[in-house]
Structure 1
């Protein structure tokens, strides 16, 4: 089963302002019918990078069987971590960067790796705000979620967000 997942994250007043993520999943079934699922959520205090990670995580966690996935994002933070092999180096160094500092958002990176395990994933970067329809939709979902009244938002304290 081939699935395209588009994701984006947003934070207002980054860091520690309200934020949100938006994810769009697309699958064409054997009969040629397109299926689309959109997911978004907002948090009252978070960072852009955390929301970029959450967009990818929830997209993968929405899949109920192993799939061939193209993950498409405008986040170089997420895409480069896979395509430039940052993650194996972080793991080898005990979740430390090349500069020997702790990797930020390690709990979300671990959650993303777990969500990715059953799938064969191609990680694709697209330029943000450049007219890519699905990326623009994800941005709309993420910013709308970030802009919801605070009482409707979840608080992202860096812990488990499930």
Structure 2
């Protein structure tokens, strides 16, 4: 069984604003980069989306995965078990339920270990993921984060 390393980053220009994610998947000789951009989203959504998109790219279940992220939001929600509490309380007052539930389903398929890395501190893969995320939201024809845009328009009514 191979060990898979996943490096992720997400960000937005404004919060909310155009946003993107970047991810690197690496295992032995295998190396793949992923990225995507959205016209209106948040930094936290993109940090979590990077993890989700990387996990969705895996073809086999039961993998041993180490995820490296500079997002305290993502790492702490999982490692400190905040996510279990949010689920138990029906996400009352919490954001990003749609993405968190996608993560939960994907996480059940694998053996995942999370490691926090300091952002913008010279970590080569984290720096690359940051460049991928920024380039993604700098593109034309950005994707629509439909759940976020629907929820944020409802909140402003």
Normalising by structure 2, we get a TM-score of: 0.90
The alignment partner of 2:147 has SS state of coil
- What is the Cα deviation at residue 67 of structure 1? 0.5
The alignment covers a number of residue pairs equal to 146
- What is the Cα deviation at residue 94 of structure 1? 2.0
Query: Residue 84 of structure 2 aligns with which residue?
Result: 88
Query: Residue 5 of structure 1 aligns with which residue?
Result: 6
Q: Deviations over 1:11-56 (max 9, x none)?
A: 00111x111000000001xxxxx21000001011111111111100
The alignment partner of 1:77 has SS state of helix
1:1-162 to 2 correspondences below 5 Å: 1-15=2-16, 17-28=17-28, 34-65=29-60, 66-96=62-92, 101=93, 103-149=94-140, 152-158=141-147
Find runs of 4+ consecutive structure 1 residues off by over 2 angstroms. Answer: none
Normalising by structure 1, we get a TM-score of: 0.87
The alignment partner of 1:87 has SS state of helix
The alignment partner of 2:146 has SS state of coil
The alignment partner of 1:130 has SS state of coil
The structure with more helix, counted as a fraction of residues: 2
Gap runs ≥5 in structure 1: 29-33
The alignment partner of 2:68 has SS state of strand
CA RMSD of aligned residues (A): 1.0
Gap runs ≥5 in structure 2: 149-157
Contact 1:46 1:157 in 2 (8 A): no
